[in-house]
Chains A and B, each alone.
Chain A
């Protein structure tokens, strides 16, 4: 097993957490209510915290002189390996909650499975992240139900958000050579094994929310190998701009 593959595997999950965390932080001071402003900022903090620990771990494994900031701020869109679901724009509140539900329903069982990873640092992150993501999942589920089973307008918006994001969910469960190597080494898991769990959770929430499960059809892929929607580049330009304009600046 090569270190490069191990680093790539860690970076995928760090990138998922950072990109979604940054997206949620874009709601700070703009959420519909003060409580939600605080909630979304708290969830962003959890995710960025998870990302930091994973980046520090990847940087140590890599041993190439890059630190967590270099990994977060100095890689371009083609080097980010997150799933495209997390980079999708916030849209309205329904779109953000739909994205939260679809990702958290994956993240919770995913981290739960990684608690037994032979990579002790990854297992440590997983044990914390599982608890945090369980909380995120509950929060998103409650909102999806409230809006789906709410007014005609909120129902329509939530259904539209789900329909729009659904094609991005297949990518969560894709496996490739890196996943294969990590499974063989006892470090990673094949996410397809948690797909039934994801389907059950999302199915239960959609049923309670009186929402229809979007039909299958086409799906989007490529994020894990650096192919992204145009939204990631715009987001990174905003997120990385200050650091790139002032290399090495500290305060």
Chain B
């Protein structure tokens, strides 16, 4: 490694972050892995760019795809010396969704999770606004949905069914 490259560490990280900004969730392609909180950290370990990611759910099948997508994007950008590290702690929470991510969810017809994923009582209900008409007169159709992170709801006012990002 030359001296100029050594001094260029910040540049390398900036390039890596720009590349990672283009990596999206395969199930929610309008959200980047940073938006959703899967991307936890990017730093240099010597000359190697270490990319730290965390799963949303223990069994989320998208994690494997995301790992492959990250490696492909980094390689395409010529950033060959990188390593992907998976961490479990601290456990992912929907509180990590960025404000931009929440806006993008609504724009794509998905109700974002309630803020601050505290411990809910066993039988507590939550008010969820319809992403189409904004009414909070919505009911849960099923606590589980098309992916591990979503539940199914229906709006009682505009009758539109919609996905709700589970709050955990």
Q: Which residues of chain A are near B148, meaning CB under 8 Å?
A: 42, 45-46
Q: Which residues of chain B are near A47, meaning CB under 8 Å?
A: 58-59
A39-B150 Cα distance, complex, nearest whole Å: 11
B122 in contact (CB, < 8 A) = yes
Give chain A's interface residue range (CB within 8 Å of chain B). 20 to 34
Query: Contact between A53 and B141 (Cβ–Cβ < 8 Å)?
Result: no
Query: Contact between B92 and A43 (Cβ–Cβ < 8 Å)?
Result: no
B88 in contact (CB, < 8 A) = yes
Q: Mark A115-135, 1 if CB is under 8 A from B, else 0.
A: 000001101110111011011
B67 in contact (CB, < 8 A) = no
Query: Contact between A45 and B123 (Cβ–Cβ < 8 Å)?
Result: no
Q: Classify the secondary structure of B's interface with A.
A: loop
Q: Which residues of chain B are near A142, meaning CB under 8 Å?
A: 143
Q: Mark A121-156, 1 if CB is under 8 A from B, else 0.
A: 101110111011011011101100000000000000
Residue of chain A at shortest CB distance from B92? A128
Q: Which residues of chain A are near B88, meaning CB under 8 Å?
A: 53, 121, 124-125, 127-128
Q: Which residues of chain A are near B145, meaning CB under 8 Å?
A: 38, 42
B134 in contact (CB, < 8 A) = no
A52 in contact (CB, < 8 A) = yes
A50 in contact (CB, < 8 A) = yes
B61 in contact (CB, < 8 A) = yes
Q: How far is the CB of B167 from chain A (nearest CB, A)?
A: 10
Known interface pairs A38-B145, A46-B59, A49-B58; A131-B122 also in contact (CB < 8 Å): no
B116 in contact (CB, < 8 A) = no
Segment 46-67 of B: residues with Cβ below 8 Å from A = 55, 57-61
Q: Mark B63-93, 1 if CB is under 8 A from A, else 0.
A: 0000000000000000000000001111111
A149-B120 Cα distance, complex, nearest whole Å: 23
Residue of chain A at shortest CB distance from B119? A134
Q: Which residues of chain A are near B91, meaning CB under 8 Å?
A: 124, 127-128, 131
Q: How far is the CB of B6 from chain A (nearest CB, A)?
A: 33
Q: Which residues of chain B are near A240, meaning CB under 8 Å?
A: none
A128-B89 Cα distance, complex, nearest whole Å: 8
A48 in contact (CB, < 8 A) = yes
Q: Which residues of chain B are near A131, meaning CB under 8 Å?
A: 91, 93, 168
A120-B87 Cα distance, complex, nearest whole Å: 11
Query: Contact between A132 and B142 (Cβ–Cβ < 8 Å)?
Result: no
B146 in contact (CB, < 8 A) = yes
A174 in contact (CB, < 8 A) = no
Q: How far is the CB of B128 from chain A (nearest CB, A)?
A: 15
A124-B54 Cα distance, complex, nearest whole Å: 11
Q: Which of B57, B120, B144, B168 contacts A139 (CB 8 A)?
A: B144
Q: Which residues of chain A are near B168, meaning CB under 8 Å?
A: 131-132, 134-135
Q: Which residues of chain A are near B141, meaning CB under 8 Å?
A: 35
Segment 93-142 of B: residues with Cβ below 8 Å from A = 93, 119-120, 122-123, 141-142
Residues of A at the B interface (CB closer than 8 Å) are 35-36, 38-39, 42-43, 45-50, 52-53, 120-121, 123-125, 127-129, 131-132, 134-135, 137-139, 141-142, 201, 204-205
Besides the known contacts A49-B55, A124-B87, A125-B58, 6 further A-B residue pairs in the complex with CB atoms under 8 A apart: A36-B142, A45-B59, A128-B55, A128-B92, A131-B168, A205-B122
A-B pairs with beta carbons under 8 Å apart, 24 shown: A35-B141, A35-B152, A42-B144, A42-B145, A46-B148, A47-B58, A49-B57, A49-B58, A52-B58, A53-B58, A53-B88, A121-B88, A123-B89, A124-B88, A124-B91, A125-B58, A127-B91, A128-B58, A131-B93, A135-B168, A137-B122, A139-B144, A141-B122, A141-B123
